[in-house]
Each structure stands twice: as structure tokens, then as C-alpha cells.
Amino acid sequence: MDPLGPVRLASRALGFATWTSAVVYGHKALSLFDSDLATPWGKQRFIDAWSHGVFPLFGLDLNLVSGEVPEGGVGPFLVVANHRSPLDILVAIHLVGGVVLSHHGVREIPVVGTAAVATDTIFVDREDRRSGARAIRSMRRALVEGRNLIVFPEGTTYPGDEVRPFLRGAFAAARGLDLVRVLPLGLAYRPGDEFYEESFGDHFGRMARRRRTPIWAAVGEPMDVPRTPDDTEALRQRVQGLVDEASAARDS
């Protein structure tokens, strides 16, 4: 057992709460004097600053093993990734920015929920049809505004490198928007680092005690938004290929 683990956990929890509060309330205060900061693009600058501060705080080592993030002015993108950890959200925001579609329960997690609300996270309860309809409207509005939208169409987190079937509803908001393209993203972690069959608190504590947490990512070429089940499966296979690239780099 690492004797410094409890110290890291306490310092990182405090650091995360302090940094998140500073960014959230700093943005609110400065927006009173500069209305541009209250726009989605002004807010994105603070979201970028927040994510870049959290990475070193938690000892996250992001290894981009293939592909590149498109330059600004292209898109908006529907960013589609496999889902293995809450850290996936941070990685996607760090790489491409944008708005995240997330489970409604995230809103209730102390500090994390505050950060999610502040970053314009779109919450959905998949058991509630009205919640799903509201989420699709919010997702579409974000894309129309030109913001990237980050989704994890497996629907929940899984262990291992196999990409599970995609839920087609994740793509509904992007259909009919000609400028929107899909940006596939594959992520890989060390075995056992995934968030699976444990509480968020247990997972956070386990990961925060570690000195470093490496993450491998591969970015694909933009694709058309899937319209048919075959298109959706082709996208899933593309994400699987990117995960295979990321996991190969991890295992080399």
C-alpha cells in the first residue's frame, strides 16, 4: 500500500473543490463586467482553463497516440467515444472542448455536479421519455450554436477494450444539420482503472490515491452523422479501431 495515497486523496479532493469553485465563481463575477464572457464562446475559455488545471492536479498523463484534433473553425463536431471512466469527459473536453451529454445523476455529486452545471452539461434520464426529449432539444441547440457535443453512445461505462453496441438516440439531435460531422475518439486505460460496479466515491478515492494515471487516446477522421443501423455499426467499428490503436500503444 502506498503510504502517500491518503495524502494525495485529501489534497486532490481539496484542490479540485478549490479550483472548480475559483473557476465557476470567477467566471460569474467577471461576466458581470464583460458580457462576452457570458456567451458560449466566452464560457469555453473558462472551461478550457478548468480542464487544463485539473489534469496536473490529478496526475493524469494523456497520450495522444494517433490522429489530431481539427483546427478551430471546422465543425461543429459530434464527438463520439467509448466510455470507461468519468475521466473520459475530462479527456474529451481537454482535447476538443464542447458540451457533454451525461447521466442525470452526475448533477447530484458534490463539486462534480457543480462543475458539470457550470460547463453546460446536458443531463438526461434515459428512463424518462420527457427528459430524453428535453436533452435532444438542448443537444441540437448546442450544435446549431456551433458548439461541439460530446456523447458516449454505449450508454454507460464498461471494463475492457470492447466497444459495446451504440444507442442510436445519441445521434438524433445531429440529424439534418448539414454542417455537423462526427469526430470518433477511442480511449484506453490500464486494466482495472475503469469505473465499473463501484460507487463514484470509491472510484474517485481509488484513482486519486495513485501518483499517476495514464490515458491513451486516438482521434479519427471526421465522418458523416449515422442515419441507419448500418451507419451506426460502421461508426462503432471505427471507434473500436481507434480503441485498438490506443490499447496497442498502452501494451507496447
pLDDT one digit per residue (tens) for the chain, 252 residues = 678 899 999 999 999 899 988 988 898 899 889 888 888 888 888 888 888 899 999 999 999 999 988 876 567 999 999 999 999 998 999 898 888 888 887 888 877 787 788 778 888 887 777 888 888 898 999 999 889 999 999 989 999 999 999 998 889 889 889 889 999 999 999 999 999 989 988 998 999 999 999 999 999 999 999 999 999 999 999 999 999 999 999 999
Q: CA nearest 84: which of 148, 161, 167, 153?
A: 161
**Number of structural domains, the chain?**
1
Q: Residue 99 gets which letter from DSSP? A: E
Going by C-alpha positions, the residue among 148, 223, 152, 219 that lies closest to residue 182 is 223
Cell numbers at 223, concatenated: 465522418
Q: What is the rounded distance in angstroms from the CA atom of residue 54 to the CA atom of residue 49?
A: 9
d(Cα 111, Cα 48) in Å, to the nearest integer? 17
Quick one: pLDDT at residue 182?
Answer: 96
> Is the CA virtual torsion 44, 54, 196, 242 positive or negative?
positive
Check residue 74 and give its pLDDT.
65
Q: Which domain range does residue 198 map to?
A: 5-251
Predicted confidence at residue 247, as pLDDT, reads 98
Domain of 115: which CATH number?
A: 3.40.1130
- Across-strand partners of 223? 182
